[in-house]
């Protein structure tokens, strides 16, 4: 029972760190991601970049570096969000 509780608390803590990391990315002007990207990419962050948690810049760099390994949904929303960000920068 204790091992189960410890594992559950650890998983909840990791999920919270990933959620906060993506929320912080959304607030970062240099690389903002939508709530949809946060939802679609949390599993990829755990799977591909868990060693980088909770370092937000490293998670971001890892996700970009491993773009080819991202799930289809995550890649699609990240590409869309990055394209929107690029067009906003170009307009300024």
Residue 18: the pLDDT is 58
Residue 27: the pLDDT is 44
Residue 92: the pLDDT is 56
Residue 57: the pLDDT is 84
Domain count, the chain: 1
Q: What does each of the 92 residues of the chain score in pLDDT, given as a tens digit?
A: 677 656 766 665 666 555 555 554 444 444 456 677 788 888 999 999 999 888 878 888 898 899 999 999 999 988 887 787 777 655 65
Domain that residue 11 falls in: 2-91
HEC sequence for the chain: CHHHHHHHHHHHHHHHHHHHHHHHHHHCCCCCCCHHHHHHHHHHHHHHHHHHCCCHHHHHHHHHHCHHHCCHHHHHHHHHHHHHHHHHHHHC
Residue 72: the pLDDT is 94
Name the pTM for this structure. 0.56
Torsion over CA: 18, 10, 48, 52 (sign): positive
Residue 25: the pLDDT is 47
């Amino acid at each position: 029972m204790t091992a189960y509780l410890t594992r559950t608390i650890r998983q909840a803590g990791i999920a919270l760190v990933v959620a906060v990391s993506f929320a912080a990315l959304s607030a970062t002007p240099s690389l903002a991601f939508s709530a949809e990207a946060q939802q679609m990419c949390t599993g990829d962050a755990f799977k591909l970049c868990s060693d980088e948690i909770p370092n937000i810049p490293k998670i971001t760099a890892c996700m970009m570096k491993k773009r080819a390994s991202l799930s289809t949904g995550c890649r699609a929303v990240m590409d869309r969000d990055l394209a929107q960000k690029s067009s906003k920068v170009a307009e300024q």
